[in-house]
Structure 1
Amino acid sequence: MGLFRSILLSVSFIFLIFTPKLTNGILKRCFVCRSRGELGSCKDPFTVNVTQIDLEKGVEAVPCASGWCGKLLETENPLKEEYGVATERMCLRRGPSDSEDRCAYVKWNFRRVLMCFCRGDLCNASNRLTVNLPVLLTSCILTRLILRFL
């Protein structure tokens, strides 16, 4: 029984160390679309998910080599800060220099816009945190096994 426990702990430890490296190598996708005003499906709240992507005109889920997705919100009057006149979701060539997910006001084509950056598969759908479900489930199962045999 002691040998089995040692093997199980070793496998769990190796899995937890190497899992982030394995999942980082998987190609990430981003939603790509543009909406103006009430027209289109790209605006917030964004209700499209990957299973409905073929049904939505003008919305795609494209592979993104950098792994960084973006969402850009334009306004007609930046003084009022009423964003949402135009919404664009995209794949970015590269992420921010500090590699942090965030939203910030930036200059884009000589206009002040609100731009959000995120890294992850289809992360530019909303502001919610995405969870890697297979890794979460495997970690829960391994933890349960370890606790059962301790």
Structure 2
Amino acid sequence: MNYQTVFLFVLVGVLVIRDANCLQKRCIKCRSRGVQGTCGDPFPFNVTEPEAEVGIHVVACPSGWCGKMIEGTTGAFRTDDYGAATQRMCLQRSPSDDEERCAYTMWNHKKVYMCFCNGDLCNSAYKISVPPIIMLGSIIVVVYNYFQFRL
């Protein structure tokens, strides 16, 4: 098998895995108030076993867009304030500009801090994304080095 064939298999494999992940978009759904709540930051649970904690659910999200909202009784949105609440949810539709971001917005006539993200379980933690060009470059380096050592 030559290196072009291996490279083609690796590339197709990456694309298939990426498309398979796009088909199953899920979000964390929970709400808690104050520092003792289980829905706040940092999110203390492994998303592979969220049902172990009462009040935390993994839900299917057809839109693919998840959200995290922090609302408080003070303008500072301090999470140690008893009145502050954190809610994670699936959004019914994407933001109008289809951009992932965090910003202050109005929700049910209240000023809240809200984050929008697109991806499977993206509202469970901070998102670290790798640009496709870096992923492709890494695959090329690995395949190239594999064949250098085989010759």
- TM bucket (normalised to shorter chain) is 0.7 to 0.9
CA 1:82–1:10: 2 relative to 1, 3 Å:
closer
Question: Match of 1:112, SS?
Answer: strand
**Seq. identity, %:** 42
Question: Is 1:28 the counterpart of 2:25 in the alignment?
Answer: yes
Give the Cα–Cα distance (whole angstroms) in 1 for the partners of residues 60 and 40 of structure 2: 21
4+ long deviations beyond 4 Å: 13-16, 139-143
Deviations 1:102-150 (A, max 9, x none): 101100011100000011111111223267xxxx7xx967742333225
Instruction: State how 1:105-124 maps to structure 2 within 5 Å.
Output: 105-124=104-123
CA 1:67–1:52: 2 relative to 1, 3 Å:
same
Q: TM-score, normalised by structure 2?
A: 0.76
The answer to whether the Cα contact below 8 Å between 1:33 and 1:89 also exists between their aligned partners in 2 is: yes
Q: Name the structure 2 match of 1:74.
A: 71
The answer to whether the Cα contact below 8 Å between 1:74 and 1:83 also exists between their aligned partners in 2 is: no
1:75: how far off?
1.2
Instruction: State how 1:1-150 maps to structure 2 within 5 Å.
Output: 4-15=2-13, 18-19=15-16, 22-23=19-20, 25-78=22-75, 81-84=76-79, 85-129=84-128, 143-149=141-147
Query: Number of matched residues?
Result: 140
Question: Match of 2:63, SS?
Answer: coil
Question: Match of 2:48, SS?
Answer: helix
User: Which ranges of structure 2 fall in alignment gaps of 5 or more residues?
Assistant: none
**One-letter identity of the residue aligned with 1:96:** P
Deviations 1:50-80 (A, max 9, x none): 23312211110111111111000001022xx
Q: TM-score, normalised by structure 1?
A: 0.77
Deviations 1:19-43 (A, max 9, x none): 4761453211110000012343112
Give the root-mean-square deviation of aligned CA atoms. Answer: 2.8
User: Which ranges of structure 1 fall in alignment gaps of 5 or more residues?
Assistant: none
CA 1:116–1:44: 2 relative to 1, 3 Å:
same
